[in-house]
Structure formats: structure tokens, C-alpha cells
A and B are shown apart, each in its own frame.
Chain A
Amino acid sequence: MANGATGIGARVKRKEDKRFITGKGKYTDDVRMENQAYAAFVRSPHAHANVKSIDKSAALAMEGVVDVLDGHQLTGDGIGNIICGWAVASKDGSPMNMGAWSALATQKVRYVGDAVAVVIADTQALARIAAEAVEVEYEELPAVVKADKALTKSAPEIHDNAPGNLIYNWEIGDAAKADAGLAAAKHITEMEITNNRVSPNPMEPRSAVATYDEAEEHYTLYTTSQNPHVARLVLSAFYNVAPEHKLRVIAPDVGGGFGAKIYIYPEEITCLWASMKTNRSVKWTSDRSEAFITDAHGRDHISTAKMGFDENGKITGFKVDTIANLGAYMSLFSSSVPTYLYATLLSGQYDIQNLHANVRAVYTNTVPVDAYRGAGRPEACYLIERMMETAAREMGMKPAELRARNFVREFPHETPVIMTYDSGDFDANLAQAEEAADVAGFPARQAEAAKRGKLRGLGYSCYIEACGIAPSAAVGGLGAGVGLWESAEVRVNPVGTIEILTGSHSHGQGHETTFAQIVAERFDLPLDNVAIVHGDTDKVQFGMGTYGSRSGAVGMSAIVKAMDKVEAKVRKIAAHQLEASEDDIVIEGGEVKVAGTDKALGWHEIGLAAYTAHNLPPEMEPGLKESAFYDPSNFTFPAGCYICEVEVDPDTGTTEVVQFTASDDFGTIINPMIVEGQVHGGLAQGIGQAMMEQVIYDDDGQLITGSYMDYTMPRAADLPFYSVHHASTVCPGNPLGMKGCGEAGAIGSPPAVINAITDAIGNNNLSMPATPQNVWNALQAVTASQAAE
């Protein structure tokens, strides 16, 4: 069933592009309902305070203000608290300390931006003006913003049920074995490593348009979601907005997500509830400043780590202690990020027998922290790969050589931190990257740069991640509140065209193209005969959405399963009508044929036969529509090697990424053009985290980086052309052999960048982001220590 032009492996141009390049995309803020009003939130200017009183009178007196609603009204109507859906217990067996989070705070505010009331008004401008007229009296409380400080005795307590601000104290691996391994080591590398807090910043700000139909007691929510079905489930089952059959959630075109649009935030809940309270459609669209104080942030770990090596450079033991800042409240998947998505990857690409990690998650007076592109895995990768590079330097070995001595080479490989790597060829990725990056030519380039007064450095990162999460029973056993399968429905219409309904959601990933490619290939049909339907709970029965690089490995696998069922039925119908054996039926060239004969039916004739039902096999139901749920058997394990080459201007500390080389193992690739685009975007975010991006709070909990005036977004001039390559092994765990590609770039790149810069400047003491100022300061330290010698 070769379909070279559009099938698996073809660089098909995207079907969805036309509407975007002509300005016809339909995003949530483009939706306008009849009788629409606008919401603006009254937010706390304090990081930590008791709410003494709310005076709405001035706002309510303004002409055009529909209502001003507060948290007492919200909870009075039975709207439930926002929950974290993944239960992570402490090592002593006690459950995590989840503090109450109301969509509108009633007694206490816990971060700058915590909403206490909402104004509903006829226009957006008026709503915002009226929100400023709501007078809230606060009693300020001391605040804490840093994770390590939150654990100190003097830190203010943020939630009553979280003594010492501790959410959980969790561990994985074997501490005694790790200690013994370190004790036996010839060399120990020890580091303190900070993973900087960043803001996801999808370019489309979050938005919600909620409509209540009083007669039907039914709600419709247009929203910027990566997973509309999960949103509906949570809004129904936990927040009591409406039962599921009375709530339709539509995520139309969504302008990027990167994790930030997984969660169900206070604003969406409030808009739904307010639409019922006011009997108006209620629209809220965040501006960028509001996004910085409401969208879940990412990363923010402080770790200490020790890695021991024997005389041959083999790792003898690895111990990690991490404090993870989860912000003021536990967001939807926050608990899983620094545990099951982080510590389980601490074995990296290496055969480490003795490994232990301890993770303490804490509350602080900051925006909640949750999954951001990579979610836990970038933190793990950064830690391991900084350790490996540093250890190599300390031991006088080539960084690539030290890594290669420790590579896992036999699969399946069980790590001491509960992962079973199923496939990979780490040597191949390393070799490919080194060749493409012309590592051999680096010394000459470095010497040439030196003549120009520039410091040139080279850094590696060999990453592995776990994607396609994951077997439902397994994650359930680890505390997940949901199953992580995916669903699909394949509808063959009477004229033979096909609609694929998927629970995955595309917000830039190109599903409308890649999903169609696997269907067109399977049934050998023109790509244009296949349409992808997603993002609407009234159309697609259920789905888990798109995050964790799961839409290929899990979402497409569900489509394959449903196509298996369709094909079986097609064979039966064809065999019946053509009087042949099912085994002799072949599907190709738009026809369903009997092999070795000239007997054939057009694909469209099969569709028509199924729906006219005039001549179907006995007992067969009419129609040609099948659905499937696919539950993976394991995570998938994309891996690869990234090599970054930089030039530092010692006068200013400005660093230029002059070359970035990626060799990835993503398993089967459906559309290389789209996969490369995913890598490019991931690399830009990873390089952004490494060199530019950082959310900064002052000690009082005021956000300093609250707009693009102070939060540095990577721009075109900051980034190079990327050199992207693939050396793939097939994933044995799913029918297409896919591993996932959405997060790799963001996971693998930060350590490569920092390893390169520290190589260039000769000072390993450099934290992300390596801004010009930070690099310059690190260079001054080198100069000062040389002067002292």
C-alpha cells in the first residue's frame, strides 16, 4: 500500500495552513456570542494577605456593569475547589498536603494575581475599569518565594494543612545502595543545580467564552485548551459546574499550549458560573501581563547531586536531593512533574545501578507551577548532563567518551527508578551528532575565533525522555487520577470519504495532516479525502488530549486500532460481494480487490454498500464506522544527542549559538517536515530557557518579569539555523513504532548550551539563564581567580 507522496515518511505540506496564512483561523477570542458580556478579574496586588472586605458598590454603580461576583457567592453555589489530579504520597506513606484552592479566594490570597472577584460588564474596557473600582481591604502577611526558603522555620505558612509549606517528601530508588556506590567511587562529582523558573508563553493568550442556556440548563464553553474532554470531566466531576451531558467544551484553533493550556484555571470556571449568574455569554481574554500572573509557570527546582565514578569512568552511584517549587496552589498535574516525570528519568542514557532521589515539593507565594514542555524531564536531563560534562572535565576525559562508557546498550533495560527502556541506539545518535557538528574541526574553529577575540565552546547533551504517557493501570498505581489512553473513531462515509475523530488536540502540531497521512496510507486514498475532527466534546466522545508528546504514540495508535476494525469489516463486505475469501482481499489504488483477479470494487462502493445495506453478509450491521480506545503498554523513550557550539564576546558576555546539532531517535516518523519543526521549536524554547528566560520575583513576591519588557522571549536574531538529524530505532510498544517528538528539543538542549558556554569561558559555575550579564560576571570571576594566583 505504498503511498509515497502522502503516506508515512512523506513531507506533506500541512492541510490546515491555508486558514492560518489567510487570517481565517478561528481562535477562542474570535468567537462572539449574542448578548456577550466581558469578565475582568479583581486580583490581589499582594503575595500573601488576608482578605478583610470587598466593597463592590462603586463598580456596581457604573453604567454597563452587569454584576460583580465574589468567592463567597461562588462557593455558596457549590462550585468546588480546584484540585491536583495526581496523588503523590510522602515516603512515610502520608498523603500529599493539598491546600484548598477556590477559583475566587474568599479569606486569603496567596500570590500576586490571585483573584478575589470578577466584574461582568458590557465591554471589555469597562470591565477592566470597573475591576479597578472594586475596593478590597487586605491585611498583608509575610511572603516567601524561594523553594528552599519556604522550608525554613521562619517562613510564613501558606496553607494550614501544609505544615512547613511541605507538600510531600518523596523518594525513589535505593538510598543505601546509592551511598555504598558513592563510597566505593574513585571520583565524586558534586554540584548544586538550579533549574530556572520560566513562563510557557504560548502566543495566543488564554481565553474563554461561556454561555448558559437557561431552558436546557446547558453550558457551552469555548476555551483555549489542549484537552477539552479532560476540562469537561474536571469541570463536571470536581468543580460541579454542570454534569457532563449538560456541558459542551470546544477548543477551536488554539495558538500554542506547551503545557500551559492543559489545566482548568479559575478564569474558565468563573466564566461558566458567571454566565449562569448573569444569564449572559461571558468572555474573558487574558492579556499578556495577566498571562504572566495566571498561566502556570514551569521548572523551578533547586537540587544537590553527587555522582561517583570508578577508575574507568563507570558510574558507581548517583544521589539527588531536589526541592521543587509548586507555587501557591497545586495545579492539575503539578505533583507528578517533579516525581514521576522527573526522578524516573534520572538514570539518563546510562547504566546506573545505584541511584536514589529525594524530592520535597513546597508551597510558595508565587503563581502555581505545573508541566511546561518536557515537564520534569528537562530538569532531569539538565541535572544529569551537567553532571556528566562536569565530571568529564574534572577527570580529564572527553565528555563524549565518559558518556559512551556508561551508555545502556541492551534493551529492554530496567533502571533503578522504575523505567524500562524499550529501545534505542545511543552510540548511533552520538556518532551522528558528532559527525554533523564536525567536532573534529572544533579546535581549528576555536583557534580562529580566538584570533577575533571570541571565546568558542562546545557542549554535549545526551538525553532520554519518557513520552506517550502511559499505561493507565501503571499511572493509576502511581497516583494518577485519570487513565492515559486515547480514543479514535474512523467514520467512512457512504461516498467513501473519511472522518477521523480523535481525542488528541492539535494546537500547532499539524494533526490534521499527519493523522490524515496514516489513514490515506492505510486505505491508499487521496489525502484530501480524509478529514480530522477534534476539539469538541459534542463531536468526539472522549479523549485525553495532547501533551507529553503523546499524540503520535498514543493518539495515532488509537486511530490504527480503529482502522484495523474498519479494514476487517471492509474485507468482509468485499469478500461477500466479490465472492472471495477475506484473506484474498487487498486494498489499494482506491479499490478493494481480489488478489490475482480482475474482480474489484471501488472504495466508495464499499462505503455505499455498507450504508445502503442491500447486500451485506448475514448478521452484519449496516454502516462503516468503528471506534477504538488505545491504552499503551509502556512509555516510549525518545532519545538523542545534542551538540551546541557557542561564541562568547568577553567584553559584554554576549553569547551567540553559532551551531546547534541534533540527532534524535523518535522511532517511526510520519512527516519529517513537521517533526523537524517540532524539534526547531523545542530547541528554541530550550535555548531560551538556557540563555534568556527567567521568571523573577522580588522577596515580597512581586513579579518583576511581568511583561515582554522584562521577560526575554527568544527572537529570530537570537537563534541559529538548526542542524537536525535522525538516527531512529523502532519503538516496539505501539503499532506504528513511534516514540514522540514534541518535547525533545526543550528537554535536551539546555545542558548542551550551558556545557558549551562554561567550556568557552572556563568557569563551570554558571546558572541558567546565561544572560550576557551572568556570563560576564562568570568571566570576571575567572579573571579575579587568575589574578589571585
Chain B
Amino acid sequence: MTKVKMTVNGKAVTREVSGETLLSEFLREDLRLTGTHIGCDTSQCGACVVHIDGKAVKSCTTLAAATDGAEVTTIEGLANGDLHPMQAAFKEHHGLQCGFCTPGMIMSGVDMVNRYKAEGREVTAEAVRHELEGNICRCTGYHNIVKAVQDAATKM
């Protein structure tokens, strides 16, 4: 077992974890933050995407022990009180149906917009589609997800 200390959604967390514990397991089972989802076992669907130190990563392919000292943000901690503009945009544009891929989509969307803004790049539809290649949705056909991310980019 390894002792890990990290900040999750702004709160300090200290736990003992075994070496093989995935960050996704740690979040879902130890912290009961079940908004982070597991949709595949080959790191492709992106339902598990969270932010570590502000960057999108796949929590299903990250060891909890390796996250020691990091700042982790999950879908539950994305907003300060009200909805984050990305969350609001997904609702406004009907960017979700069953909701299962949605947390990962939103976390990836926020990461993308943050990067593009920092680099001064335009969040075009083509760019959104390209940046979401690590997130799979089976319900929406992506049409409204792309619109939602683009709209959120104007409000972030």
C-alpha cells in the first residue's frame, strides 16, 4: 500500500492505496465520485476523463499512487456552485442523451477550450471534432456535442 495525498475537487484527500489501484477506481470506489465512468478497457472511450493539474487525462489509465501530490478535478468539482459554461452548453444544445459519456466529454471539452484559448487558436467545429477523438458517444451522433463545445468556448 502507498500513502497518497492529493487535492480532489478542492478538498485535500489522504488515503492508502494499493499499487494497482487506478485513479478511476480510487475516485469511484474510495471517494464515491461516480460521475467518472468506465466505458472501455483500452483507453479509447474517454468516459473516464478527469483533469490532473488542469490537464485532461484518462483516469482509467492512470495509477492513483502516481497521482500523489496532484490536483484532481472531476465532473463533480468542475463548477463552482452554478453550472460551468461547458455543462450549461451541453444542456442548452442537447449535447447529451443517455448521459454516460457526458462527464468525459465535458472534461475533454473544457480542456480543449482552455488550451485553444491559451494558444489563441479558434475553436472551429473541425477542431472540436479532432480534439474529441478520444471520446466516444453512441447516442448523439456528435452534432450537438460539437455545437455545445463551440458555444461554451464563447462563454469561457
Contacts and interface: CB of A to CB of B under 8 A. Distances in A.
Asked whether the complex places CB atoms of A and B closer than 8 A, the reply is yes
Interface of A: 13-14, 16-27, 29-30, 32, 125, 201-205, 253-256, 258, 285, 287-289, 507-510, 673-674, 676-677, 680-685, 707-709, 713-717, 719, 721-722, 745
Interface string B82-123: 010001101110101111111100100000000000000000
B142 A13 contact: no
Nearest to B34: A30
B136 A22 contact: no
Given A21-B91, A287-B41, A722-B143, A708 B100 contact: no
A202 B140 CA distance: 12
Given A203-B45, A288-B42, A716-B133, A258 B35 contact: no
B16 interface: no
A25 B99 CA distance: 8
Q: Which of A14, A256, A285 has the most CB of B within 10 A?
A: A256
B37 interface: yes
B155 interface: no
A203 B137 contact: yes
B98 A202 contact: yes
A683 B102 CA distance: 19
Q: Which of B34, B88, B130 has the most CB of A within 10 A?
A: B34
Given A17-B90, A255-B98, A708-B40, A683 B141 contact: yes
Which 8 pairs of residues, A with B, have the shortest CB-CB distance?
A23-B35, A255-B100, A20-B99, A684-B141, A508-B98, A680-B141, A23-B75, A508-B97
B128 A716 contact: yes
Given A203-B45, A707-B41, A20 B96 contact: yes
A253 B35 CA distance: 12
Contacts of A673: 94
Contacts of B90: 17, 21
Nearest to B18: A125
Contact of A21 (B83, B100, B129, B143): B83
A125 B136 contact: no
A204 B39 contact: yes
Binding site of B, secondary structure by majority: helix, strand, loop or mixed?
loop
A288 B47 CA distance: 12
B79 interface: yes
A305 to B, nearest CB: 30
A203 B143 contact: no
B24 to A, nearest CB: 11
Contact of B20 (A125, A719, A721): A125
Given A22-B87, A509-B97, A677-B94, A201 B102 contact: no
Contacts of A719: 129, 141-143
Nearest to A21: B87
A504 to B, nearest CB: 15
Contacts of A17: 90-91, 96, 99
Nearest to A289: B41
26 contacts: A20-B96, A21-B96, A21-B102, A23-B74, A27-B37, A202-B98, A203-B100, A203-B136, A203-B137, A204-B37, A256-B100, A287-B41, A289-B42, A508-B98, A508-B139, A509-B97, A673-B94, A676-B94, A677-B139, A677-B144, A680-B143, A685-B138, A707-B40, A708-B45, A709-B42, A715-B133
Contacts of B141: 680-685, 714, 719, 722, 745
Interface residues on B, range: 35 or more
A203 B41 contact: no
Contacts of B101: 203, 255
A288 B140 contact: no
Contacts of B130: 716-717
A508 B99 contact: yes
Nearest to A506: B98
Contacts of A680: 140-144
Contact of B136 (A289, A676, A715, A745): A715
A674 B94 contact: yes
Contacts of A507: 98
B91 A717 contact: no
Contacts of B75: 21-23
Contact of B44 (A26, A202, A709, A745): A709
Given A680-B140, A717-B129, A719-B129, 10 more contacts: A18-B83, A18-B91, A21-B102, A287-B40, A287-B41, A289-B42, A677-B94, A680-B141, A709-B44, A716-B137
Q: Which of A20, A27, A682 has the most CB of B within 10 A?
A: A20
B97 A677 contact: yes
B37 to A, nearest CB: 7
B145 interface: yes
B53 interface: no
Contact of B40 (A32, A288, A685): A288
Contacts of B106: 21
Interface string B3-41: 000000000000000001000000010001111111111
Nearest to B103: A23
Contacts of B79: 22
B99 A255 contact: yes
Contacts of B33: 23
Interface in B131-156: 132-133, 135-146
B138 A203 contact: yes
B125 interface: yes
A201 B42 CA distance: 14
Q: Which of A24, A32, A713, A715 has the most CB of B within 10 A?
A: A715
Nearest to A31: B34
A529 B66 CA distance: 48
Q: Which of B42, B90, B92 has the most CB of A within 10 A?
A: B42
A288 B39 contact: yes
Contacts of B40: 287-288, 707-708
Nearest to B90: A21
A717 B133 contact: yes
Nearest to A674: B94
Nearest to A25: B99
Contacts of B138: 201-203, 256, 258, 681, 684-685, 713
A215 B76 CA distance: 38
Contacts of A681: 97, 138-141
B43 to A, nearest CB: 9
A203 B91 contact: no
Contact of B142 (A285, A676, A716): A716
Nearest to A123: B29
B35 A25 contact: yes
Q: Which of B33, B41, B106 has the most CB of A within 10 A?
A: B41
Contacts of A745: 141
A716 B87 contact: no
A674 B41 CA distance: 31
B44 A253 contact: no
Nearest to B98: A508
A27 B140 CA distance: 19
A253 to B, nearest CB: 7
A22 B36 CA distance: 10
A289 B139 CA distance: 20
A450 B135 CA distance: 33
Q: Which of A19, A22, A26, A30 has the most CB of B within 10 A?
A: A22
B39 A205 contact: yes
A200 B24 CA distance: 25
Interface in B40-86: 40-42, 44-45, 47, 74-76, 79, 83
A681 B136 CA distance: 12
Contacts of A205: 38-39
A254 B138 CA distance: 13
Contacts of A676: 94
Nearest to A256: B98
